Amino acid sequence: MLILISHIITGAADLGAAFLLMFGLKRMSSPESARSGIRVAGLGMLVAVLACFLNVVGVSAAARPHLIVNIVLAASMLIIGVGLAWWKGRTVKLTAMPQMVALFNGMGGGAAGAIAAVALIGRNAQGPALILALIGGLIGSVSLSGSLIAWAKLDEVLKQPLRFKGQRYFNALVFLATLAVAGYLVFIWQGGAAPLLSIPAWIAIFFGCGLLFGIFITLPIGGADMPVVISIYNALTGLAVALDGFVLQNPALMIAGMVVGAAGMFLTLIMAQAMNRSVSNILFSDFGDASKHKHGAIKGSLKPVEASDAGIFMRYAKSVIIVPGYGLAVAQAQQKLYEFVKLLQAAGVLVRFAIHPVAGRMPGQMDVLLAEAGVPYDLIFQLSDINPDFATTDVALVIGANDVVNPAARDDKSSPIYGMPILNADKAKKVYVVKRGQGKGYAGIVNALFYADNCNMVYGDAQAVLVQMIEAVRGLGAAAA
Amino acid sequence: MHFSIAITGFVALYIFMLAAFGGWVIIGNVPAILHTPLMSGSNFVHGIVVIGAIYTLLNASTVPEQLIGCSAVLLGAGNVAGGYAVTDRMLAMFKSSGKQSGKHSRAVHAKKS
């Protein structure tokens, strides 16, 4: 009787949670309701987690003697995990958000892999569920190790993409080996042969191969492509969760996991489209390998100017388009930028922001940063909406962006970013580029824009540069008064 | 006697298909401005894996199962809490653009459709 009641309560709670999660996600896809969306989804999650502990009345006979220990373990692990991640998620700097998403996503993948591992070891799953547990475990472990590499790259723990000759064949080999181990496990379970090693050992080898594959496939991918990679792993984790849901016969996991799997894949395609590259090209090409790429002869020279001069020039311009990039995020200069923009607006300058779809380390990261500074939405334009306007604009101010304004994408067929839609900042009458130093962008490509006749470089940390610009423009105002 | 949900064969495939379609529709008309929060939000949603992890740990009967189950709960809890904290922080900032947000989002939707 107790079991029946617990099943009904957990079943209803999971149903409600699945609804609230989907409803929340739907609300998150519109700026007005986004905040309430995450709250709704959060409520659904809370209900599901609390109800999940009702499963104590229905545990299998074998687990019954360990029940008290397991409850204590589950509760303490839950508290530790939630506490640490909550603290980290609340305190991390805004610029570090992309790697945080990668890290938390990897944790989800790891959890999905671990659940599959237990199902395999305990042989709780039979028939098709066994196969799905293998697939879910593989996807989960790839997502775990891959996300951790993505995290390390974004956090700049790993600075260089690691590439070696025949890497693709090596990766294919690791993948085939993983599949072979999986096949062998199924063969053993079908009673095909007495295993050379114990079954748990083979399961461990299987997961080891999956983890290795995730590492090796992510290592050669350049940092600039990490947003797309995180999106793929996000989708993969969702898929692994959905498969675990089938193994555990839990429809809430199946639905929530699959929704994320599909949504993540779709988001990945949108992003890849924005870069005008296919997903497989991102995963398997040696993009951003500057050493292989021969640079065309670049005419012109770098022409540095003082920040104050650039600021004053913009004060007297009619229109300015600002192209923010990751450098803005690193310098935490979004507040100063908006302060400067407000000064220009007060002087009657038409100021707009142009956001490249893959600016920053995540799609929409620039939108989040600008929103944080309080920049109204209607000043922010996406690539296709603003690109025609550069030609009629007095000044394009590029702050900490590089590859997304590199004209090589338009006309240099040998360039690795050839074909990627870019912001046509070079078409503006005057271009100022605020940059920390003379280094290359994340893709490691020389930018011809910086050498163009209409372009001046303003070297320095974006925040310091903007402070100088603000002071210069304020100085003018004081002089006039 | 067990009174549990049984999802087999085609029923599972129907659930997967409909859920995948749901995910696709939900993302379909999202403005680029929300891509990062939405990725983070969906990251939070697959954090539901934590309830599978708790279920697994509660049913663990051997030490290896308990150990792996513990790591599953720990990782899943990290996923769910971290995903929520990060997403909520991002979305809180979107509110700060105040009166203009309502007008703009309608404009975005009009443009998309």
pLDDT tens by residue, A341-374: 999 999 899 999 998 877 776 767 788 888 888 8
* pLDDT tens, position by position, A19-48: 999 999 888 888 778 889 999 999 999 999
Average pLDDT over residues A202-209: 93
- Residue A287's SS3 state is coil
Q: Is the pLDDT of residue A432 over 60?
A: yes
Residue A292 above 50 pLDDT?
no
Predicted confidence band of residue B19 (pLDDT cuts 50, 70, 90): very high
Question: A7-14 — which CB contacts under 8 Å span 24+ positions?
Answer: A7/A58, A7/B2, A7/B3, A7/B4, A8/B3, A9/A51, A9/A54, A10/A51, A10/A52, A10/A54, A10/A55, A11/B5, A13/A47, A13/A48, A13/A50, A13/A51, A13/A52, A14/A48, A14/A51, A14/A250, A14/A251, A14/A252, A14/B51
CATH of the domain at A343: 3.40.50.1220
Of B42, B79, B84, Cβ closest to residue A111? B79
pLDDT of residue A478: 62
Measured between CB atoms, which of B6, B20, B55 is closest to A261? B20
d(C-alpha A243, C-alpha A408), whole Å: 44
Cβ distance A260 to B46 less than 8 Å, yes or no, reads yes
DSSP code per residue over A324-344: E-HHHHHHT-HHHHHHHHHHH
Residue A4 domain-assigned? no
Mean pLDDT throughout B42-61? 94
- Give pLDDT, residue A363: 67
Cβ-count burial A240-273 (b if 16+ within 10 Å, e if not): bbbbbbbbbbbbbbbbbbbbbbbbbbbbbebbbe
Mean model confidence pLDDT for chain B: 80
pLDDT at position A441, please? 62
Quick check: A295 pLDDT over 70?
no
CA dist A416 and A116 (Å) reads: 40
In whole angstroms, give the CA distance from residue A389 to residue A232: 33
Residue A251 maps to a domain: yes
Identify all chain A residues contacting B26, using CB atoms and an 8 Å cutoff.
22, 25-26, 29, 259, 263
pLDDT at A159: 74
Candidate from A89-98, B9-18, B101-110 with smallest mean pLDDT:
B101-110
In total, chain B counts a number of residues equal to: 113
> What pLDDT score was predicted for residue A125?
66
Mean pLDDT of A138-145: 96
Q: How far, in Å, are A323, A396, A431, A469 from residue A303 at the CA level? A: 19, 16, 11, 18
pLDDT cut 90: percent of chain A above it: 40
Q: Is the pLDDT of residue A267 over 90?
A: no
At A271 the pLDDT is: 77
**Are A108 and A254 in the same domain?**
yes
pLDDT given for residue B99 in this prediction: 44
Instruction: Decide if A248 touches B, using CB distance below 8 A.
Output: yes
Query: Are residues A264 and A322 both part of a single domain?
Result: no
Q: Does residue A272 sit in the same domain as residue A351? A: no
Q: Residue B97 above 70 pLDDT?
A: no
- DSSP state letter for A304: B
Share of chain A above pLDDT 70, in %: 91
Touching A: B residues 81-110, CB under 8 Å: 81-97, 100-105, 107-109
Specify the pLDDT at position A444: 64
Supply A465's token pair: 């540069």
| pLDDT at res. A480 | 54
Q: Is residue A7 part of a domain?
A: no
- The number of folded domains in chain A is 2
pLDDT given for residue A32 in this prediction: 77
Residues A351 and A415 in one domain: yes
Q: Is residue A34 part of a domain?
A: no
- How confident is the model at residue B107, as a pLDDT? 40
Q: Is the pLDDT of residue B103 over 50?
A: no
Verify that A237 and A351 share a domain, yes or no: no
Strand partners, A431: A396, A455
Which residues does chain A have within 8 Å of residue B105's beta carbon, measured at their own beta carbons?
30-32, 377
* Structure-token pair, residue A347: 């002087």
Question: Residue A455 above 80 pLDDT?
Answer: yes
Look at residue A255 in the predicted model and tell me its pLDDT: 94
- Same domain flag for A249 and A331: no
Q: Are residues A320 and A389 in the same domain?
A: yes
Q: Taking 80 as the threshold, does the pLDDT of residue A290 lie above it?
A: no
A115 has a pLDDT exceeding 80: yes
Q: Which of A52-61, A101-110, A386-395 has the lowest mean pLDDT?
A: A52-61
Q: Please list every residue in chain B whose beta carbon sits closer than 8 Å to the beta carbon of residue A145.
A: none
Q: How close does chain B come to A353, measured CA to CA in Å?
A: 13
CB contact under 8 A, B21 and A34: no
Whole-number pLDDT of residue A293: 46
Is B91's pLDDT higher than 80? yes
Q: Chain B within 8 Å of A406 (Cβ-Cβ)?
A: no
Look at A73 and B57 and tell me if their CB atoms are within 8 Å.
yes
Contact list, B57 vs chain A (CB under 8 Å): 70, 73-74, 77
Mean pLDDT of B34-57: 91
Q: H-helix or E-strand containing A161?
A: none
* Residues of chain A neighbouring B51 (CB-CB closer than 8 A): 14, 48-49, 52, 250, 252-253
Q: Which pLDDT score, from 0 to 100, does residue A45 have?
A: 95
More confident residue, A443 or B100: A443
Instruction: Residue window 108-137, chain A: list those with CB within 8 Å of chain B.
Output: 108, 110-112, 114-115, 117-119, 121-122, 124, 128
DSSP assignment of chain B: --------HHHHHHHHHHHHHHHHHHHHT--GGGHHHHHHHHHHHGGGHHHHHHHHHHT--SHHHHHHHHHHHHHHHHHHHHHHHHHHHHHHHHHTTTHHHHHHHHHHHHHH-
Residue A385 pLDDT grade (very low, low, confident, very high; cuts 50, 70, 90): confident
Q: Which residues of B touch A24 (CB under 8 A)?
A: 41, 45
pLDDT of A335 strictly over 80: yes
Interface-testing mutation among B13, B21, B24, B43, with chain A (most A C-beta atoms within 10 A): B43
How far apart, in whole angstroms, are the C-alpha atoms of residue A88 and residue B97? 26
Of the three residues A236, A261, A289, the one that is the final residue of a domain is A289
Task: Indicate whether A363 and A234 sit together in one domain.
Answer: no
Is this prediction's pTM over 0.95? Answer: no
Decide which of A289, A319, A354 is a domain's last residue: A289
The SS3 of residue A414 is coil
Residues A175, A275 within the same domain: yes
Whether residues A228 and A347 fall in one domain: no
Top-confidence residue, A114 or A56: A114
Residue B63 in contact with partner chain A when CB distance is under 8 A: no
What local confidence, expressed as pLDDT, does residue A299 receive? 66
Residue range of the domain that includes A112: 96-289
Q: What is the structure's pLDDT at A114?
A: 96
Q: Mean of the pLDDT values across residues A443-450?
A: 77
Of the listed ranges A74-78, A116-120, B91-95, the least confidently predicted one is: B91-95
- pLDDT of B102 reads 41
Query: How far apart, in whole angstroms, are the C-alpha atoms of residue A238 and residue A248?
Result: 15
pLDDT in tens, A157-182: 877 777 777 788 888 999 999 999 99
Pair (A156, A265) in one structural domain: yes
Structural domain ending residue among the three candidates A262, A289, A316: A289
Is residue A305 predicted with pLDDT exceeding 50? Answer: yes
Query: Does residue A141 lie in a domain region?
Result: yes
Statement to judge: residues A239 and A352 lie in one domain: no
Give me the pLDDT at residue B94, please: 67
